[in-house]
Amino acid sequence: MSLDAAGDQIFELKLIFLRELGTGYASAKAAHEALSRDAKDRAALQSLREFFHKIAGTAENVELGLLGRLASTCEITADGLLEQGADVQWRTLQILGDGLAGVASVLEGGSRPTRQETAESAPAPEMPIALSGGAARVLVIDDDPFSARLVDSVLRAAGFESSFCCEPDKAFNTIVAENPDLVILDVVMPKIDGFRLCQRVRAHPGLQLMPIIFVTRKGDVEQRVRGLQVGGNDYVAKPFEPQELVARVRSHLQRLSELRELAIRDGLTRCYNNKYFKGRLEVEVGRSRRYQTGLTIGMLDVDHFKRINDAYGHPAGDAVLSHMASLITASVRSSDVVARYGGEEFGFLLVDAAVEEATIIVQRLREFVARHRFEVPALNGEPLTLNCTVSIGLASLKPDEISQAFLHRADGALYEAKNTGRNRVWVAP
């Protein structure tokens, strides 16, 4: 997003804030008048508390810091009365009235931003973090539409794919349906607060790794501690600094990316692991059938691998497997998938490749491996080089063939390659 575009977006947010401020002011003023008539009117006090809570969390972000601090004082005052169950005294009513007067002053004073001011204050955009083949997806959950839009705007300006939900009772289902990479969650919400929602998310088996950043009131240490206890990863305080929010989001997404890589990679060879390979096989079979493209699966086994371990030790065997993974990866295309299937066996998916093309590729691979000298550590600590060969089974996807049958045919072809003398490629009929 360009600097001008970011400035325009902030400009629009300031206009939205002032418009919603005016809409909420009428209801808050009516609640204040109700309290002046009945000091025990808890509903009116709660209404005022929610009005000032929204202002306290967002005013500073639209360059109305003084109003934000005034609203924070009124929010804390209302909180204290609600917690104690005390009647509203004249002095307290005056504090809340001063808060409303401050809002009225902003509304009447024409504190409207200019496009030049917002463009000058807009932060320069940064490159987004990519996850799962695209920009990282962030879901903002906040019952206050303006606050949600503000966070969403900051994230979009930073290059993230962001969306928001302002209905707390529907937030969990939204998380499950959208499966975002990260959630930014407000603490204080009606029906279900951020803590209970976080606990529910963490109880879901598919959402264990997803980072959750809480948005809390500045200086509220108790909320921060509780947020971490229920499974939150971090917090930002209202009113937040856009640069700090983006930095925290980037940090957690980077860690998530690393954790996901660990979960799908084999520790020794750094190829994909068996679980990922089988899942990707399902995806590629569906894609091949949908777009009517070729798909070939290859199964490769290192010939007489046990002899290497027995003669030179397991470190030598590990070195061969690690080098073998590099040779296979270098021999196929970047769009293909290479995995350590188990032990000394590798699997690879040649995407959009017919069996004729795949046969040429793997024959070259087999010949390359046979010529290669593998440098490995010997039992006495001195390096040595050795040769090894591979057997490869190939199968091309048939119409209407399910992935399990497809894999079974490739396994059968590998067995034939080994059973007929090894160091050869066998193509399944």
Active site residues: 344
* 103-109 contacts at long range (C-beta below 8 A, 24 or more positions apart): 103/21, 103/25, 103/28, 103/55, 103/67, 103/71, 104/25, 106/18, 106/21, 106/64, 106/67, 107/18, 107/21, 107/22, 107/25
Q: How far is CA 203 from CA 62, 65, 231, in A?
A: 37, 39, 10
CA distance 272 to 346: 10
How many alpha carbons lie under 13 Å from residue 96 in its C-beta half-sphere? 34
With beta carbons less than 8 A apart as the criterion, state whether 375 and 384 touch: yes
CA distance 83 to 188: 15
Residue 239: both structure tokens together: 């009113």
Q: How far is CA 3 from CA 7, 8, 112, 255, 397, in A?
A: 6, 9, 20, 28, 50
Neighbours of 421 (CB within 10 A): 9
Taking the CA atoms of residue 418, residue 420, residue 421 and residue 422 in that order, the dihedral angle to the nearest 10 degrees is -30
User: Which residue is it, tokens 């947010």?
Assistant: 13
CA distance 178 to 394: 38
